[in-house]
Structure 1
Amino acid sequence: MTPEEHLRQADPVLGRAMAEITGRPPKLPPDGEAADDPDIPKDDYGVLVRAIVSQNISIHASRAIFRKLKDRFGGRVPTPEELLADDPEQLRPAAGLSRAKTVSLRSLADCILSGRLDLDALDGLPDDEVVAQLSLVKGIGVWTAQMFLMFHLHRPDVLPVGDLELRRSVAQVYGLAARPTPAELTRLAEPWRPYRTLASLYLWQLAEQAPRL
Protein backbone atom coordinates (compact mmCIF):
# COMPACT_ATOMS: atom_id res chain seq x y z
CA MET A 1 0.00 0.00 0.00
CA THR A 2 1.36 3.41 -0.95
CA PRO A 3 1.41 6.31 1.55
CA GLU A 4 -1.37 7.98 -0.44
CA GLU A 5 -3.53 4.83 -0.30
CA HIS A 6 -2.95 4.55 3.44
CA LEU A 7 -4.13 8.14 4.02
CA ARG A 8 -7.24 7.68 1.86
CA GLN A 9 -8.24 4.48 3.65
CA ALA A 10 -7.35 5.66 7.14
CA ASP A 11 -9.17 8.99 6.83
CA PRO A 12 -11.91 9.23 4.17
CA VAL A 13 -12.37 12.96 4.81
CA LEU A 14 -8.73 13.60 4.01
CA GLY A 15 -8.97 11.19 1.09
CA ARG A 16 -11.78 13.19 -0.50
CA ALA A 17 -9.82 16.39 0.00
CA MET A 18 -6.72 14.84 -1.60
CA ALA A 19 -8.78 14.18 -4.72
CA GLU A 20 -9.43 17.93 -5.00
CA ILE A 21 -5.74 18.79 -5.46
CA THR A 22 -5.15 20.73 -8.66
CA GLY A 23 -1.84 20.62 -10.45
CA ARG A 24 1.05 18.43 -9.38
CA PRO A 25 0.22 16.47 -6.22
CA PRO A 26 2.72 16.70 -3.37
CA LYS A 27 5.24 13.94 -2.75
CA LEU A 28 7.16 12.87 0.27
CA PRO A 29 10.62 14.47 0.37
CA PRO A 30 13.06 14.24 -1.25
CA ASP A 31 11.21 15.89 -4.12
CA GLY A 32 13.05 15.81 -7.44
CA GLU A 33 12.27 19.41 -8.36
CA ALA A 34 13.40 20.77 -4.99
CA ALA A 35 16.56 18.66 -5.12
CA ASP A 36 17.53 20.32 -8.40
CA ASP A 37 17.08 23.87 -7.05
CA PRO A 38 20.55 25.48 -6.81
CA ASP A 39 19.30 27.94 -4.17
CA ILE A 40 18.51 25.14 -1.72
CA PRO A 41 21.59 23.93 0.19
CA LYS A 42 22.13 20.20 0.48
CA ASP A 43 24.19 20.04 3.70
CA ASP A 44 22.83 20.26 7.26
CA TYR A 45 24.59 23.51 8.07
CA GLY A 46 23.61 25.28 4.85
CA VAL A 47 20.00 24.19 5.27
CA LEU A 48 19.89 25.66 8.77
CA VAL A 49 21.43 28.93 7.61
CA ARG A 50 18.81 29.14 4.87
CA ALA A 51 16.05 28.23 7.33
CA ILE A 52 17.02 31.06 9.67
CA VAL A 53 17.18 33.54 6.79
CA SER A 54 13.76 32.41 5.54
CA GLN A 55 11.79 32.69 8.78
CA ASN A 56 8.58 34.76 8.52
CA ILE A 57 9.21 36.09 5.00
CA SER A 58 8.13 35.11 1.51
CA ILE A 59 10.01 32.61 -0.63
CA HIS A 60 11.02 35.40 -3.02
CA ALA A 61 12.41 37.54 -0.20
CA SER A 62 14.25 34.63 1.39
CA ARG A 63 15.96 33.79 -1.89
CA ALA A 64 17.10 37.38 -2.30
CA ILE A 65 18.49 37.67 1.24
CA PHE A 66 20.18 34.27 1.08
CA ARG A 67 21.92 35.33 -2.13
CA LYS A 68 23.04 38.60 -0.53
CA LEU A 69 24.47 36.66 2.40
CA LYS A 70 26.38 34.35 0.06
CA ASP A 71 27.56 37.26 -2.08
CA ARG A 72 29.22 38.74 1.00
CA PHE A 73 31.29 35.57 1.27
CA GLY A 74 32.28 35.02 -2.33
CA GLY A 75 29.07 33.36 -3.48
CA ARG A 76 28.95 30.62 -0.85
CA VAL A 77 27.45 29.98 2.56
CA PRO A 78 29.79 31.46 5.21
CA THR A 79 31.46 29.02 7.57
CA PRO A 80 30.69 29.25 11.30
CA GLU A 81 34.10 30.82 11.82
CA GLU A 82 33.40 33.47 9.18
CA LEU A 83 30.01 34.31 10.65
CA LEU A 84 31.47 34.91 14.09
CA ALA A 85 34.42 36.87 12.70
CA ASP A 86 32.18 39.22 10.73
CA ASP A 87 30.97 42.43 12.36
CA PRO A 88 27.24 41.83 12.98
CA GLU A 89 26.48 45.53 12.52
CA GLN A 90 27.96 45.34 9.03
CA LEU A 91 26.64 41.87 8.18
CA ARG A 92 23.06 42.74 9.03
CA PRO A 93 22.49 45.60 6.53
CA ALA A 94 24.75 44.07 3.88
CA ALA A 95 22.67 40.90 3.71
CA GLY A 96 19.33 42.49 4.52
CA LEU A 97 19.00 40.52 7.76
CA SER A 98 16.98 41.50 10.79
CA ARG A 99 18.78 41.90 14.08
CA ALA A 100 17.12 38.74 15.42
CA LYS A 101 18.23 36.67 12.43
CA THR A 102 21.77 37.98 12.73
CA VAL A 103 21.79 36.89 16.38
CA SER A 104 20.40 33.50 15.39
CA LEU A 105 23.03 32.91 12.70
CA ARG A 106 25.79 33.74 15.17
CA SER A 107 24.18 31.45 17.75
CA LEU A 108 24.15 28.61 15.21
CA ALA A 109 27.82 29.18 14.49
CA ASP A 110 28.68 29.29 18.20
CA CYS A 111 26.73 26.10 18.97
CA ILE A 112 28.55 24.25 16.20
CA LEU A 113 32.04 25.48 17.08
CA SER A 114 31.52 24.86 20.80
CA GLY A 115 30.38 21.31 20.13
CA ARG A 116 26.98 21.80 21.75
CA LEU A 117 25.36 21.02 18.40
CA ASP A 118 26.72 18.02 16.49
CA LEU A 119 25.22 18.20 13.02
CA ASP A 120 26.71 14.87 12.00
CA ALA A 121 24.73 13.12 14.74
CA LEU A 122 21.32 14.52 13.82
CA ASP A 123 20.45 11.98 11.15
CA GLY A 124 20.68 9.14 13.66
CA LEU A 125 18.52 10.76 16.33
CA PRO A 126 14.75 10.34 16.88
CA ASP A 127 12.59 13.26 15.78
CA ASP A 128 12.09 14.70 19.26
CA GLU A 129 15.82 14.65 19.99
CA VAL A 130 16.56 16.45 16.71
CA VAL A 131 14.09 19.14 17.76
CA ALA A 132 15.74 19.40 21.19
CA GLN A 133 19.21 19.70 19.66
CA LEU A 134 18.27 22.36 17.14
CA SER A 135 16.38 24.33 19.78
CA LEU A 136 19.74 25.03 21.44
CA VAL A 137 20.21 27.69 18.75
CA LYS A 138 18.64 31.05 19.51
CA GLY A 139 15.86 31.68 17.02
CA ILE A 140 15.38 28.04 16.03
CA GLY A 141 12.16 26.80 17.55
CA VAL A 142 10.04 23.72 17.17
CA TRP A 143 8.53 24.77 13.83
CA THR A 144 11.90 25.39 12.15
CA ALA A 145 13.24 22.12 13.54
CA GLN A 146 10.20 20.28 12.18
CA MET A 147 10.71 21.78 8.73
CA PHE A 148 14.31 20.51 8.93
CA LEU A 149 13.00 17.05 9.81
CA MET A 150 10.47 17.03 6.99
CA PHE A 151 12.36 18.56 4.11
CA HIS A 152 16.00 17.79 4.86
CA LEU A 153 16.10 14.62 6.94
CA HIS A 154 13.03 13.33 5.05
CA ARG A 155 11.24 12.05 8.13
CA PRO A 156 7.83 10.68 7.05
CA ASP A 157 5.80 11.16 10.22
CA VAL A 158 6.20 14.79 11.29
CA LEU A 159 3.14 16.83 12.30
CA PRO A 160 3.86 20.57 12.75
CA VAL A 161 0.92 21.29 15.03
CA GLY A 162 2.01 24.90 15.55
CA ASP A 163 1.71 25.75 11.87
CA LEU A 164 -1.23 28.14 11.47
CA GLU A 165 -1.65 27.47 7.74
CA LEU A 166 -1.90 23.74 8.36
CA ARG A 167 -4.48 24.28 11.09
CA ARG A 168 -6.47 26.65 8.85
CA SER A 169 -6.53 24.02 6.11
CA VAL A 170 -7.67 21.34 8.57
CA ALA A 171 -10.51 23.60 9.72
CA GLN A 172 -11.68 24.02 6.13
CA VAL A 173 -11.35 20.36 5.14
CA TYR A 174 -13.08 19.03 8.27
CA GLY A 175 -15.71 21.78 8.49
CA LEU A 176 -14.56 23.04 11.88
CA ALA A 177 -15.79 26.34 13.30
CA ALA A 178 -12.23 27.45 14.08
CA ARG A 179 -8.66 26.33 13.66
CA PRO A 180 -7.99 23.25 15.81
CA THR A 181 -5.68 23.65 18.77
CA PRO A 182 -2.38 21.75 18.61
CA ALA A 183 -3.84 19.09 20.91
CA GLU A 184 -6.97 18.78 18.76
CA LEU A 185 -4.89 18.51 15.59
CA THR A 186 -2.74 15.81 17.18
CA ARG A 187 -5.82 13.74 17.96
CA LEU A 188 -7.39 14.30 14.55
CA ALA A 189 -4.17 13.34 12.76
CA GLU A 190 -3.68 10.06 14.61
CA PRO A 191 -5.03 7.97 11.68
CA TRP A 192 -2.46 9.57 9.36
CA ARG A 193 0.44 7.80 11.07
CA PRO A 194 3.04 6.91 9.85
CA TYR A 195 2.66 9.44 7.01
CA ARG A 196 1.75 12.66 8.78
CA THR A 197 4.39 14.50 6.74
CA LEU A 198 2.61 13.65 3.48
CA ALA A 199 -0.79 14.52 4.95
CA SER A 200 0.60 17.92 5.95
CA LEU A 201 1.93 18.48 2.43
CA TYR A 202 -1.51 17.79 0.96
CA LEU A 203 -3.21 20.10 3.45
CA TRP A 204 -0.74 22.90 2.75
CA GLN A 205 -1.36 22.55 -0.98
CA LEU A 206 -5.11 22.57 -0.38
CA ALA A 207 -4.70 25.76 1.65
CA GLU A 208 -3.03 27.43 -1.33
CA GLN A 209 -5.99 26.49 -3.53
CA ALA A 210 -8.75 27.48 -1.12
CA PRO A 211 -10.19 30.94 -0.36
CA ARG A 212 -9.25 32.22 3.05
CA LEU A 213 -11.72 32.08 5.93
Structure 2
Amino acid sequence: MPNHVVRHFQKFDPTLHAYAEKVGEIVLTSSHDFFASLCSDIIGQQLSGKAADTIYGRFEKLFPKNTPTAQRILKLSDEKLRSVGISGAKTRSLKDLAMHIVQKKLNLSKFPHMTNDEIKTALIQVKGIGPWTAEMFLMFSLARKDVFSFGDLGLKKAIQRVYGLKNHPTERQMLALSKKWQPYRTYAARILWKVLDTPEK
Protein backbone atom coordinates (compact mmCIF):
# COMPACT_ATOMS: atom_id res chain seq x y z
CA MET A 1 0.00 0.00 0.00
CA PRO A 2 1.46 3.40 -0.94
CA ASN A 3 2.92 5.39 1.95
CA HIS A 4 0.61 8.34 1.37
CA VAL A 5 -2.41 6.05 1.77
CA VAL A 6 -1.01 4.62 5.00
CA ARG A 7 -0.42 8.14 6.32
CA HIS A 8 -3.98 9.11 5.41
CA PHE A 9 -5.45 6.26 7.46
CA GLN A 10 -3.03 6.98 10.30
CA LYS A 11 -4.26 10.57 10.45
CA PHE A 12 -7.99 10.12 9.86
CA ASP A 13 -8.73 6.62 11.19
CA PRO A 14 -6.12 5.20 13.60
CA THR A 15 -8.33 2.14 14.21
CA LEU A 16 -8.25 1.07 10.58
CA HIS A 17 -4.58 2.03 10.34
CA ALA A 18 -3.73 -0.44 13.12
CA TYR A 19 -5.29 -3.25 11.08
CA ALA A 20 -3.68 -2.02 7.87
CA GLU A 21 -0.27 -2.73 9.37
CA LYS A 22 -1.32 -6.29 10.25
CA VAL A 23 -2.91 -7.51 7.03
CA GLY A 24 0.09 -7.19 4.74
CA GLU A 25 0.67 -5.59 1.37
CA ILE A 26 -2.25 -4.38 -0.74
CA VAL A 27 -1.63 -3.57 -4.40
CA LEU A 28 -4.32 -2.42 -6.82
CA THR A 29 -3.87 -3.93 -10.28
CA SER A 30 -6.07 -3.47 -13.33
CA SER A 31 -7.31 -6.24 -15.61
CA HIS A 32 -6.01 -6.75 -19.14
CA ASP A 33 -9.35 -8.27 -20.25
CA PHE A 34 -12.41 -6.34 -19.08
CA PHE A 35 -14.89 -8.70 -20.72
CA ALA A 36 -13.46 -11.78 -19.01
CA SER A 37 -13.40 -9.88 -15.72
CA LEU A 38 -17.08 -9.01 -16.02
CA CYS A 39 -17.91 -12.63 -16.80
CA SER A 40 -15.98 -13.64 -13.68
CA ASP A 41 -17.81 -11.02 -11.59
CA ILE A 42 -21.20 -12.26 -12.79
CA ILE A 43 -20.31 -15.90 -12.14
CA GLY A 44 -18.99 -14.99 -8.68
CA GLN A 45 -22.18 -13.30 -7.49
CA GLN A 46 -23.30 -14.70 -4.11
CA LEU A 47 -20.66 -17.45 -4.16
CA SER A 48 -17.60 -18.08 -2.02
CA GLY A 49 -14.30 -17.25 -3.68
CA LYS A 50 -13.39 -20.93 -4.00
CA ALA A 51 -16.70 -21.93 -5.60
CA ALA A 52 -16.57 -18.97 -7.98
CA ASP A 53 -13.02 -19.82 -9.06
CA THR A 54 -13.96 -23.45 -9.69
CA ILE A 55 -16.95 -22.58 -11.87
CA TYR A 56 -15.09 -19.85 -13.74
CA GLY A 57 -12.27 -22.31 -14.45
CA ARG A 58 -14.77 -24.67 -16.08
CA PHE A 59 -16.34 -21.75 -17.96
CA GLU A 60 -12.97 -20.69 -19.42
CA LYS A 61 -12.42 -24.15 -20.85
CA LEU A 62 -15.45 -23.69 -23.10
CA PHE A 63 -13.41 -21.25 -25.21
CA PRO A 64 -10.32 -21.49 -27.41
CA LYS A 65 -7.21 -20.54 -25.41
CA ASN A 66 -9.48 -20.26 -22.33
CA THR A 67 -10.47 -16.76 -23.48
CA PRO A 68 -14.18 -15.90 -23.41
CA THR A 69 -15.49 -13.46 -26.00
CA ALA A 70 -18.94 -11.99 -26.56
CA GLN A 71 -19.31 -13.63 -29.96
CA ARG A 72 -18.41 -17.07 -28.64
CA ILE A 73 -20.74 -16.81 -25.65
CA LEU A 74 -23.67 -16.06 -27.94
CA LYS A 75 -22.88 -19.21 -29.94
CA LEU A 76 -23.02 -21.40 -26.82
CA SER A 77 -26.32 -22.96 -25.83
CA ASP A 78 -27.80 -22.19 -22.43
CA GLU A 79 -27.48 -25.89 -21.65
CA LYS A 80 -23.73 -25.79 -22.31
CA LEU A 81 -23.27 -22.88 -19.92
CA ARG A 82 -25.48 -24.54 -17.31
CA SER A 83 -23.41 -27.73 -17.61
CA VAL A 84 -20.37 -26.05 -16.03
CA GLY A 85 -22.35 -24.93 -12.97
CA ILE A 86 -23.64 -21.53 -14.07
CA SER A 87 -27.21 -20.83 -12.93
CA GLY A 88 -30.00 -19.94 -15.32
CA ALA A 89 -30.07 -16.34 -14.12
CA LYS A 90 -26.31 -15.95 -14.57
CA THR A 91 -26.50 -17.59 -18.00
CA ARG A 92 -29.04 -14.97 -19.05
CA SER A 93 -26.82 -12.24 -17.62
CA LEU A 94 -23.74 -13.48 -19.50
CA LYS A 95 -25.72 -13.65 -22.74
CA ASP A 96 -27.10 -10.14 -22.19
CA LEU A 97 -23.61 -8.79 -21.49
CA ALA A 98 -22.37 -10.42 -24.69
CA MET A 99 -25.30 -8.96 -26.65
CA HIS A 100 -24.54 -5.47 -25.32
CA ILE A 101 -20.97 -5.84 -26.56
CA VAL A 102 -21.90 -7.22 -29.99
CA GLN A 103 -24.58 -4.56 -30.52
CA LYS A 104 -22.09 -1.89 -29.38
CA LYS A 105 -24.35 -0.70 -26.59
CA LEU A 106 -21.40 -1.16 -24.24
CA ASN A 107 -17.85 -0.16 -25.20
CA LEU A 108 -15.44 -1.54 -22.62
CA SER A 109 -12.44 0.15 -24.24
CA LYS A 110 -13.83 3.52 -23.12
CA PHE A 111 -14.00 2.54 -19.45
CA PRO A 112 -10.49 3.75 -18.46
CA HIS A 113 -11.51 7.25 -19.55
CA MET A 114 -14.92 7.28 -17.84
CA THR A 115 -15.86 8.24 -14.28
CA ASN A 116 -16.92 5.65 -11.72
CA ASP A 117 -20.54 6.80 -11.88
CA GLU A 118 -20.56 6.69 -15.68
CA ILE A 119 -19.25 3.12 -15.63
CA LYS A 120 -21.78 2.01 -13.01
CA THR A 121 -24.61 3.55 -15.02
CA ALA A 122 -23.43 1.75 -18.16
CA LEU A 123 -22.99 -1.62 -16.48
CA ILE A 124 -26.31 -1.78 -14.66
CA GLN A 125 -28.06 -1.64 -18.03
CA VAL A 126 -26.97 -5.26 -18.40
CA LYS A 127 -29.41 -7.84 -17.03
CA GLY A 128 -28.13 -9.23 -13.74
CA ILE A 129 -25.48 -6.57 -13.13
CA GLY A 130 -26.32 -4.41 -10.13
CA PRO A 131 -24.37 -1.95 -8.00
CA TRP A 132 -22.35 -4.67 -6.21
CA THR A 133 -21.04 -6.26 -9.41
CA ALA A 134 -20.24 -2.84 -10.87
CA GLU A 135 -18.38 -1.86 -7.70
CA MET A 136 -16.33 -5.07 -7.71
CA PHE A 137 -15.40 -4.39 -11.33
CA LEU A 138 -14.30 -0.85 -10.50
CA MET A 139 -12.18 -2.06 -7.58
CA PHE A 140 -10.60 -5.20 -8.97
CA SER A 141 -10.56 -4.73 -12.74
CA LEU A 142 -10.07 -0.98 -13.13
CA ALA A 143 -8.11 -0.50 -9.88
CA ARG A 144 -10.07 2.62 -9.00
CA LYS A 145 -8.85 3.94 -5.65
CA ASP A 146 -12.03 5.42 -4.20
CA VAL A 147 -14.82 2.85 -4.42
CA PHE A 148 -16.81 1.29 -1.59
CA SER A 149 -19.61 -1.26 -1.66
CA PHE A 150 -22.10 -0.35 1.04
CA GLY A 151 -24.20 -3.43 0.33
CA ASP A 152 -21.37 -5.95 0.72
CA LEU A 153 -22.04 -8.30 3.64
CA GLY A 154 -18.36 -9.06 4.14
CA LEU A 155 -17.54 -5.39 4.60
CA LYS A 156 -20.37 -5.03 7.12
CA LYS A 157 -19.04 -8.01 9.11
CA ALA A 158 -15.50 -6.63 9.02
CA ILE A 159 -16.59 -3.17 10.18
CA GLN A 160 -18.54 -4.75 13.03
CA ARG A 161 -15.41 -6.64 14.09
CA VAL A 162 -12.87 -3.83 13.65
CA TYR A 163 -14.92 -1.19 15.44
CA GLY A 164 -16.39 -3.46 18.12
CA LEU A 165 -20.03 -2.98 17.16
CA LYS A 166 -22.76 -5.19 18.63
CA ASN A 167 -24.50 -5.47 15.27
CA HIS A 168 -23.75 -4.87 11.63
CA PRO A 169 -23.20 -1.15 10.98
CA THR A 170 -26.10 0.97 9.82
CA GLU A 171 -25.90 2.81 6.52
CA ARG A 172 -25.32 6.05 8.45
CA GLN A 173 -22.40 4.50 10.35
CA MET A 174 -20.86 3.18 7.14
CA LEU A 175 -21.20 6.55 5.44
CA ALA A 176 -19.55 8.32 8.37
CA LEU A 177 -16.62 5.89 8.37
CA SER A 178 -16.20 5.96 4.60
CA LYS A 179 -15.87 9.74 4.63
CA LYS A 180 -12.73 9.30 6.75
CA TRP A 181 -11.28 6.97 4.13
CA GLN A 182 -11.85 9.15 1.07
CA PRO A 183 -10.21 9.32 -1.44
CA TYR A 184 -8.86 5.81 -0.74
CA ARG A 185 -11.98 3.82 0.05
CA THR A 186 -10.93 0.89 -2.15
CA TYR A 187 -7.86 0.39 0.03
CA ALA A 188 -10.09 0.52 3.12
CA ALA A 189 -12.36 -2.14 1.64
CA ARG A 190 -9.38 -4.36 0.82
CA ILE A 191 -8.08 -4.01 4.38
CA LEU A 192 -11.48 -4.92 5.79
CA TRP A 193 -11.83 -7.99 3.57
CA LYS A 194 -8.37 -9.14 4.68
CA VAL A 195 -9.42 -8.72 8.31
CA LEU A 196 -12.22 -11.22 7.68
CA ASP A 197 -9.65 -13.72 6.42
CA THR A 198 -7.71 -13.40 9.69
CA PRO A 199 -8.90 -15.62 12.57
CA GLU A 200 -10.13 -13.70 15.60
CA LYS A 201 -7.99 -14.04 18.70
For normalisation by structure 2, the TM-score amounts to 0.90
- Contact 1:70/1:78 (<8 A) preserved: yes
* Aligned CA distance change for structure 1 residues 172 and 67 (closer, same or farther; 3 Å): closer
Query: What's the counterpart of residue 85 of structure 1?
Result: 75
**SS of corresponding position for 2:166:** coil
- How far 1:67 sits from its partner (Å)? 2.3
Contact 1:135–1:145 (Cα < 8 Å) also in 2: yes
* Equivalent runs, 1:23-38 vs 2, <5 Å: 25-30=24-29
Map residues 21-60 of structure 1 onto 2, 5 A cutoff: 21-22=22-23, 25-30=24-29, 42-60=32-50
For the 8 Å contact 2:36–2:69, the answer to whether it is kept is: no
Query: 3-state DSSP class of the match of 2:67?
Result: coil
**Separation of aligned partners in 1, 2:77 and 2:151:** 34
Partner of 2:20: 18
Match of 1:161 among 138, 147, 150: 150
Following TM superposition, the consecutive aligned residue runs of length 4 or more in structure 1 with deviations greater than 6 angstroms are none
Per-residue CA distance 1:97-128 (angstroms, 9 max, x = gap): 11111111101001111222111111111111
Q: What secondary structure does 1:209 align onto?
A: coil
- 3-state SS of paired residue (1:144): helix
SS state of the match for residue 2, structure 1? helix
**What letter matches 1:104 in structure 2?**
S
Whole-Å separation in 1 of the counterparts to 2:50 and 2:164:
32
The equivalent residue for 2:140 is 151
Letter in 1 for 2:19: A
Q: Distance in 2 between matches of 1:151 and 1:110?
A: 23
The match for 1:204 is: 193
User: Which residue, 1, 5, 8 being the options, matches 1:6?
Assistant: 8
Tell whether the 8 Å contact from 1:26 to 1:198 is kept in structure 2 after alignment.
no
- Aligned-partner Cα distance in 2 for 1:73–1:205: 33
Conserved 8 A contact 2:112-2:142: yes
| Cα pair 1:28 1:156 within 8 Å, conserved | no
1:60 maps to a residue whose letter is K
CA contact (8 A) 1:170 1:203 kept: yes
Secondary structure in 1 aligned to 2:32?
A: coil
Instruction: Compute the displacement of 1:176 (Å).
Output: 1.7
Structure 2 residue 108 is the aligned partner of structure 1 residue 106: no
Give the unaligned 5+ runs of structure 2: none
Q: Distance between the aligned counterparts of 1:91 and 1:206, measured in 2?
A: 34
Is the 2:38–2:137 Cα contact (8 Å) retained in structure 1?
Answer: yes
Change in CA separation of 1:128 and 1:208 when aligned onto 2, cut-off 3 Å: same
Residue 16 of structure 1 aligns with an amino acid whose one-letter code is A
Q: CA deviation at 1:28?
A: 3.5
Equivalenced residue count is 199
- Give me the TM-score of the superposition, normalised by structure 1: 0.85
